[in-house]
Amino acid sequence: MDHMVYSPKLRLLDMHRDLSAVADLIELCFRDQMDADGVAYIRQMRRLAQEMAYPAVLLANPPRVHFSGLVWEENGKIIGNVTLIPFVKDGKPVTLIANVAVHPDYRQRGIGRALTARALEVIRDRGNRAAWLQVREENQPAVQLYHSLGFVERTRRATWELNPKYVKAGALSEGEVTSLGARDWPQVRAWLEALYPPLIAWNLPFSAEPLRPGWWPDLQRWMNGQSVRHWALRGGAGMIGALIWEPSRLSADILWPAAAEVNLVPLLTGVLPFAVQDLRSGRPLTVNLPVWVDGTALGTLGFQLQNTLIWMEIPDLG
Ligand SMILES: CC(C)(COP(=O)(O)OP(=O)(O)OC[C@H]1O[C@@H](n2cnc3c(N)ncnc32)[C@H](O)[C@@H]1OP(=O)(O)O)[C@@H](O)C(=O)NCCC(=O)NCCS
């Protein structure tokens, strides 16, 4: 909390002073893994930093985004950062720890540990019982740090991305691509909920209800300026699966596959070329899969593995 006494080096982030230096630090520390959304995030931080420099403008237009966190300062230079993002999970306030970053010249001196440990105290003092974070599975220094502070793995998911220009026609799949109707929904919903259970869904922009097919949901989406597209793959024995497209404000739109696990690859193989032709947007498409589903076959369809994220939690901060 604000009245806490910090060591002179470790203090709360001050949005008016620190944002630009924090943006530089995050860019430096994450440049090897930064995707288009990361670049947009840094740009947004820099824009906010500029707005912060003009109090008159701020008064008229209060910032829509609020950055909260801790920084480590040495000789007037910010060399460490932790960002704290509050959100609600299962009706309870929890905090996501993000942007844990230490300048390469200052690593392995305990700064990352001190920042994260203090962040946990701040979160607890703010009345939150749980802290969450996500980390790429290959980032062993960070994974070790979080384990040693008491974080436990809750789930792991992979994100695959396809540039529609490079969609490869897979081996001929059985079945016929058709529309998806309202009466298909109970089955499709059950498949979706099996692939995206709550532990996976809460950290994705996934919610089954807004994806429901039918003329009435279509009309409601149209009135709200939203859109969703559906395709079904049907074989002799009935529906093999469905593919649902949802636009996103991030750099890639989202595909939600719905099928029994064994049918995921036949579904994508059969429907993807149709879907790409239908969409004609040229925008990249992502598919998120929990890691218990083997996604390697997506590579043969032209997808590239973007990352595999481990989601970790400290469930009870005391
Ligand atoms: C991860 C990062 C913040 C660690 O910062 P740091 O100041 O070097 O970490 P610390 O010196 O406090 O080390 C804390 C623990 O992290 C682990 N760790 C740190 N560097 C490590 C390395 N190179 N290899 C293995 N473990 C390492 C160790 O468990 C260490 O504990 P120990 O010193 O008792 O063995 C830093 O490496 C970094 O900025 N990386 C790039 C950005 C990033 O990936 N952030 C995490 C995103 S989830």
3-state secondary structure of 140: helix
Q: Which of 26, 79, 113 to mutate to test the pocket of ligand 1 (most atoms within 8 A of CB)?
A: 113
DSSP states of 288-305 as a string? Answer: EEETTS--GGGGGGT-EE
pLDDT of 70 above 50: yes
Task: Using the structure block, give the residue that is written with the tokens 């699966």.
Answer: 241
- Give 223-257 pLDDT, tens digit per residue: 999 999 999 999 988 999 999 999 998 999 999 99
- Give 42-56 pLDDT, tens digit per residue: 999 999 898 887 777
30 CA: nearest ligand 1 atom: 42
State whether the beta carbon of 140 lies less than 6 angstroms from ligand 1.
Answer: yes
148 CA: nearest ligand 1 atom: 29
Helix (H) or strand (E) holding 74: strand 68-74
Token pair for residue 285? 């498409």
Domains belonging to the chain, first-starting first, are: 10-128 (3.40.630.30), 159-308 (3.40.630.30)
- What is the predicted pLDDT for the residue at 152? 97
The alpha carbon of 142 and the centre of ligand 1 are apart by a number of angstroms equal to: 5
The CA distance from 233 to 267, in Å, is: 6
pLDDT of 318 above 80: no
Confidence band (pLDDT; 50, 70, 90) for 170? low
- Residue closest to 13 by CA, chosen among 63, 80, 111, 110: 80
Confidence band (pLDDT; 50, 70, 90) for 1? very low
Determine how β-strand 92-102 pairs with β-strand 130-136.
Answer: parallel
State whether the beta carbon of 102 lies less than 6 angstroms from ligand 1.
Answer: yes
The alpha carbon of 110 and the centre of ligand 1 are apart by a number of angstroms equal to: 8
The CA distance from 151 to 32, in Å, is: 25
State whether the beta carbon of 144 lies less than 6 angstroms from ligand 1.
Answer: yes
Q: What is the mean pLDDT of the chain?
A: 91
Atom 36, ligand 1: residue with shortest CA distance: 102
State whether the beta carbon of 162 lies less than 6 angstroms from ligand 1.
Answer: no
The alpha carbon of 154 and the centre of ligand 1 are apart by a number of angstroms equal to: 21
State whether the beta carbon of 97 lies less than 6 angstroms from ligand 1.
Answer: no
pLDDT of 111 above 70: yes
Atom 27, ligand 1: residue with shortest CA distance: 141
Q: What is the pTM of this model?
A: 0.90
State whether the beta carbon of 98 lies less than 6 angstroms from ligand 1.
Answer: no
Token pair for residue 233? 């793959």
| Lowest-confidence region among 11-15, 64-68, 70-74 | 64-68
Mean pLDDT of 211-222: 94
Task: Using the structure block, give the residue that is written with the tokens 């949901």.
Answer: 217
- What is the predicted pLDDT for the residue at 171? 59
- What is the predicted pLDDT for the residue at 6? 52
Mean pLDDT of 92-121: 96
DSSP states of 178-234 as a string? Answer: E---GGGHHHHHHHHHHHS-HHHHTTTT--SGGG--SHHHHHHHHHTT---EEEEEE
State whether the beta carbon of 141 lies less than 6 angstroms from ligand 1.
Answer: yes
Mean pLDDT of 193-202: 91
Token pair for residue 201? 């869904």
pLDDT of 2 above 60: no
Confidence band (pLDDT; 50, 70, 90) for 193? very high
Q: Which of 9, 33, 78, 102 to mutate to test the pocket of ligand 1 (most atoms within 8 A of CB)?
A: 102
